């Protein structure tokens, strides 16, 4: 089916029909979403009508083949075949594009009129055997039509049912029961349609609200990343020369590791890929750092802690160890972050960096941290914490 822009649909929607749409939120954007939900619901109802039409045609032809009493059998067969042709034609109409236009409303009126006439003819000619088709036709009309058109076609349907009931030799009780059942079927269809419309509109608004929140979050992360980068740059502008500036370098690196997390959050919304995070952090190292990572994703808070820990461990390996430096992030029952280097590193037991790592791991990640020598020479810093989301 083809589609048309939403603004064209809104422009084509009748004024009286617009007033009947739910307006939980003010503004043109909310109204366009309401129109889109209404059109989507009616289009779905039309698709159901296609298959109900084919089912009804099969039932009618089967009934006529089984010698249901009818005064003009071939007339009914011809009317049924004509209904099949009309149903086929209705299936190829671009309803999604035409439903809100005058052309679509005229075609829908023709469909409803033809449907009522077809059922009335069947009941009048073949007796009450086909009266149950009213339980499909009238509720369908009540659902696909809206506004004044719905009221008009319900009045036409009711009048047709009353006329046909008067022509069929049934007791007053049987006639009243049939009319009451058709009325109840219409009422149930309208109640269900209203509930479905409200639920669809609520889902649409919830999705729009979630998208707005994601957009605002991405924008906030982008701004935070920029502010952190500026803060790191300003810090380095005040850096003293020589070894006295080491603390400035370390602090700027920590700020940039947090900025990296916010940068990744602008790209991946609410989760950060662990391997990408570590590669971004180690990209500015003065020597190549090998990174191997399983497929892991962290939420924003966990990613910030993991990023800081990885930054400190790599900085510690660069300062006290020797190349090659290998960072490994493993998934499993627990998440493991390892930083291996070829240095001896017994002097790494103290210092602000490792103290920060210890606290971040134990208090922030609910894990534990170890620094130990490797059997073949070198040092391994290992962080173990509860499994991350893959």
Task: Say whether both 170 and 285 belong to one domain.
Answer: no
Q: Which are the contacts of 317, defined by CB distance < 8 A and separation ≥ 6? A: 325, 339, 341, 343, 379, 381
Task: Say whether both 44 and 124 belong to one domain.
Answer: yes
**Residue 385: per-residue pLDDT:** 92
**Residue 247: per-residue pLDDT:** 73
Q: Are 369 and 382 in contact (CB under 8 A)?
A: yes
**Residue 4: per-residue pLDDT:** 40
Residue 266 in any domain: the answer is no
Q: Which among 193, 209, 225 is the end of a domain?
A: 209
**Residue 337: per-residue pLDDT:** 92
Q: Which among 155, 177, 209 is the end of a domain?
A: 209
Residue 318 in any domain: the answer is yes
In whole angstroms, what is the distance from residue 287 CA to residue 342 CA?
14
Query: Which contacts qualify for 275-278: CB closer than 8 Å, 24 or more apart?
Result: 275/329, 277/303, 277/306, 277/307, 277/310, 278/306, 278/307, 278/310, 278/327, 278/329
Count of beta carbons in the 10 Å neighbourhood of residue 153: 21
Task: Say whether both 297 and 193 belong to one domain.
Answer: no
Task: Say whether both 193 and 296 belong to one domain.
Answer: no
**Residue 328: per-residue pLDDT:** 92
Task: Say whether both 198 and 300 belong to one domain.
Answer: no
Residue 358 in any domain: the answer is yes
Residue 247 in any domain: the answer is no
pTM, 2 dp: 0.46
Question: The domain that contains 327 carries what CATH number?
Answer: 3.30.565.10
Task: Say whether both 278 and 194 belong to one domain.
Answer: no
Task: Say whether both 175 and 315 belong to one domain.
Answer: no
Residue 236 in any domain: the answer is no
Q: Which among 209, 226, 259 is the end of a domain?
A: 209
Identify the domain containing residue 305 by its residue range: 271-390
Number of domain units in the chain: 2
Task: Say whether both 366 and 277 belong to one domain.
Answer: yes
Task: Say whether both 176 and 50 belong to one domain.
Answer: yes
**Residue 15: per-residue pLDDT:** 39
Residue 304 in any domain: the answer is yes
In whole angstroms, what is the distance from residue 190 CA to residue 45 CA?
12
Residue 216 in any domain: the answer is no
pLDDT (tens place) for every residue of the chain, 390 residues total: 334 444 444 344 343 344 444 443 344 555 565 667 777 778 888 888 888 888 888 888 887 777 656 667 778 888 888 888 888 888 888 888 888 888 888 988 898 888 888 888 887 777 666 766 777 787 888 888 888 888 888 888 888 877 777 777 666 666 676 667 767 777 777 777 777 777 777 777 777 777 777 776 667 766 776 777 777 777 777 677 776 677 777 777 777 777 777 777 666 667 788 888 888 888 877 888 898 988 888 887 888 888 888 888 888 888 888 888 899 998 888 899 999 988 765 445 556 778 888 888 888 889 999 888 888 778 889 999 987 654
Task: Say whether both 198 and 298 belong to one domain.
Answer: no
**Residue 384: per-residue pLDDT:** 92
Task: Say whether both 61 and 177 belong to one domain.
Answer: yes
Task: Say whether both 56 and 143 belong to one domain.
Answer: yes
Residue 368 in any domain: the answer is yes
**Residue 178: per-residue pLDDT:** 66
**Residue 13: per-residue pLDDT:** 39
């Amino acid at each position: 089916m083809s589609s048309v822009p939403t603004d064209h649909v809104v422009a084509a929607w009748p004024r009286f029909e617009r007033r009947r749409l739910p307006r939980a939120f003010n503004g043109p954007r909310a109204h366009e979403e309401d129109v889109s939900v209404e059109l989507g619901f009616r289009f779905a109802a039309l698709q159901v009508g296609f298959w109900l039409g084919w089912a009804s045609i099969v039932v009618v032809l089967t009934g006529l083949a089984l010698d249901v009493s009818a005064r003009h059998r071939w007339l009914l067969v011809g009317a049924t075949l004509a209904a099949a042709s009309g149903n086929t034609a209705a299936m190829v109409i671009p309803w999604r594009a035409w439903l809100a236009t005058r052309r679509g409303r005229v075609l829908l009126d023709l469909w409803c009129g033809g449907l009522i006439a077809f059922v009335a003819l069947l009941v009048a000619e073949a007796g009450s055997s086909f009266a149950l088709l009213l339980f499909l036709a009238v509720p369908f009309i009540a659902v696909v039509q809206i506004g004044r058109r719905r009221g008009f076609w319900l009045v036409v349907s009711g009048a047709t049912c009353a006329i046909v009931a008067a022509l069929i030799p049934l007791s007053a009780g049987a006639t009243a029961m049939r009319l009451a059942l058709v009325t109840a079927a219409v009422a149930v269809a309208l109640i269900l349609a209203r509930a479905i419309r409200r639920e669809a509109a609520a889902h649409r608004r919830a999705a729009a609200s979630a998208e707005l929140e994601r957009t605002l979050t991405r924008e906030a992360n982008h701004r935070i990343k920029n502010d952190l980068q500026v803060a790191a740059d300003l810090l380095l502008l005040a850096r003293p020369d020589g070894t006295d500036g080491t603390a400035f370098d370390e602090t700027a690196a920590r700020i940039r590791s947090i900025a990296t997390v916010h940068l990744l959050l602008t790209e991946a919304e609410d989760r950060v890929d662990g391997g990408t995070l570590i590669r971004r952090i180690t990209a500015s190292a003065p020597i190549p750092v090998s990174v191997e990572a399983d497929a892991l994703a962290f939420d924003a808070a966990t990613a910030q802690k993991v990023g800081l820990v990885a930054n400190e461990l790599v900085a510690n390996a660069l300062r006290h160890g020797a190349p090659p430096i290998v960072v490994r992030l493993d998934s499993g029952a627990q998440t493991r972050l390892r930083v291996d280097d070829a240095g001896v590193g017994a002097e790494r037991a103290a210092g602000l960096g490792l103290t920060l790592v210890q606290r971040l791991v134990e208090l922030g990640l609910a894990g534990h941290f170890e620094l130990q020598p490797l059997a073949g020479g070198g040092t391994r810093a290992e962080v173990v914490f509860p499994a991350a989301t893959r």
